[in-house]
Structure 1
Amino acid sequence: MSPTRFLSVPNLVVGLVAILSFSANSAESPFPDEIVQPTELGTAPLRLGRDYSILNLGNISSEMPGSQVEALLGPPADRTFHGNLSHWHYNVNFPIAGGDSELVCQYKIVFRPDGTVESTHWRRHTCENLAQTLTVPPPAEAKPEPKVQVVTLSADILFGFGESELTSQGKDRLREVAENLQAAYQNPMVTLIGHTDRLGSFDSNMGLSQRRAEAVRRQLAKSGLSNSAMIAEGRGETEPVVVCQTDQVEELKQCLQPNRRVEIEVFERRVGDSS
């Protein structure tokens, strides 16, 4: 795609009239009008722009240092000083719909005395609108939230009281769970958390909950879930769901039953998620 030629020597007279007319009538701040003398015109186009698609226009922001601006946009077409402010001018090519021509737009970056960006400006509103349309990427499609599920299984079904070896009923229940998870998830990540009641010592309950979680992981792996996608941990008696006050042993044991459990937390891992 070749840049539009705005003015050349064969059109000198017409071009000079156009420039002088433009200078007299255009008051679009903050671009001061300048009269171009005929002797400054050559055979090359008056303005040559760089294609907008190779410029990182949307990344220019306030406070950005000049070195970073130049790294993104390259050197400006020219640099001028107005008081203690530096002005960098770029000519940017935008495609014109319906043809292979281009519109060359003037883009100015004003720098503070400390060399950081103070403001940016387009010469024409049309150019500003084109820049917003063509250089601002569409919002990224929001990723769906991962599907999360928590399955709570009673330890009294999975294990004998105080035991960490699965019962036949417990194995059947876990095979059913594995089948359901494989049907619902393509790439599941599973966390298995063992819990106990407060009967017994703290350390023994912590160890029992860990062994139970690991037993569940082994059974789920045998039933088709990836062992490497499962984490087993024991939390002992630290996260009760009920608090019981009775002193009667059997009554207390029955009351604390909800605390004896294994929780299976599952979520769908996105593609590229290594967690």
Structure 2
Amino acid sequence: MNIQIKKKWVVLGLTAWVLAGCATGTKINDDGSTDEAKWKQWDQVTLNKTRGTFPDLQSLSQVRSGMTKDQLYYLIGRPHYNDGWRPREWNYLFHFHTPGQGTDDVTTCQYKVVFDKNMFARSFYWHAVDPENGVCPPDAKASATALQRYTLSADALFAFDKSNPHDLNAQGKIDLDNLVRKLKSFDRLNTVNVMGHTDYLGSDEYNQGLSQRRAETVRQYLINQGLPAGKIRAVGLGERQPVKQCAATANRAELIACLQPNRRVEIEVDGSGTLK
């Protein structure tokens, strides 16, 4: 095979590789606009088992036209889909806590950032996934006033991979005691949902059980400190709602450290008062 033929096959191979991982087919103008935003199949997420992420709402609100890819990466993380080499669009799968809406009180949306020819972000688009006719992004202010959320690191609460009451760390007990004082100061306490979360290490079944046991332990601790048992519910959500994505690595210790924010217990409060 001569050099010219080899070069031709290299070019064809690279072209096929780019097309195989290409973006959605959205036609993008030089100024970063498009007449029609097209979307990937929502569950073709490249990272972490098609999970997507729960974005930090304050960071998401800071996204603006003219930002670089590095600036966007800092605010909302790497794109969740494979959009090819030097793409002019980044695609995300975002979940939002929306009490009374969506699946398990969660609304899911796709989010697209479109770049101009100089790779500055210019256009932003939303696409409802669940519910299909949902509002994207949801009204974050309305959701925040409906329920208040308090997050505790599972690593601070429990010894690693543990869940029983005697596995509670000293710092975990201090954090829970502080929460109890805040909840007792409420004028009205309607419901308290204790939700356990894990990272994705281990089987789905194991993580589901671990998250449920941790939630039950925290619930019982709150009850033992004098909060009304009938108003406190414990639920394990396993690995289904990660807040951080981590690249695969051969170093398990590094991966465990990176996934730490996903190991958490969230306390969702409906009542008259303020969690600070």
Structure whose CA Rg is larger: 1
What TM bracket, shorter-length normalisation?
0.3 to 0.5
TM score, norm. by length of structure 1: 0.43
- The answer to which structure, 1 or 2, has the higher relative contact order (CA under 8 A, 6+ apart) is 2
